[in-house]
Amino acid sequence: MLTDSEASDGTVSTVEVTLDQGADGAAPHYHTRSDELFYVADGELQVMAGDRILTVGAGGSLVVPRRMPHAFGATPDSGARILIALMPGVQRFEYFRLLDRLAKGTADHTEFLAAQAEFDNYFIDAPTWTAERNAQRR
């Protein structure tokens, strides 16, 4: 986390994410209250934005409007360092703590799904994205 919503009077939340070559970022989801800006500082990012799958290279950016399903991951041939901004901001520190607890097994999937409204992060099924990412792993 670079900036949480409390530090910006709710105007923005920002996070820097580093992904290894071919690594998944966020699973398909959407936000109801925030637009999301992706800026690729280094490498290449593969992004699902609605029904399109795009590659955004270093120096490129993409804005995903609220309610548009999206997901992201590093391309198979590159890692990526990205900056993400949610506008207006959403409290994200607790969201990332919940993700950490989920990874460590101290939180369960039911707790995670119950927190979707609190963190404005609604997960969806996106078969085209899943098929694309799986095909790249072969």
Residue 37 is part of a domain; what is its CATH number? Answer: 2.60.120.10
Q: Is the separation of the CB atoms in 79 and 21 below 8 Å?
A: yes
Return the SS3 of 135: helix
In a domain, 104, yes or no: yes
Query: What integer is the mean pLDDT of 67-82?
Result: 98
CA 106 to chain centre: 22
Confidence of residue 103 (pLDDT cuts 50, 70, 90): confident
Digit-coded pLDDT (tens) for 24-41 = 999 999 999 999 999 999
- Work out how many domains the chain is built from and give that number: 1
pTM of the model: 0.90
Would you call 70 exposed, middle or buried from its count of C-beta atoms within 10 A (0-12, 13-18, 19+)?
buried
Structural domain range at position 68 = 5-129
Digit-coded pLDDT (tens) for 56-74 = 999 999 999 999 999 999 9
Which of 63 and 118 is assigned the larger pLDDT? 63
- For residue 1, pLDDT over 80 is answered with no
Q: Tokens representing 12? A: 């923005």
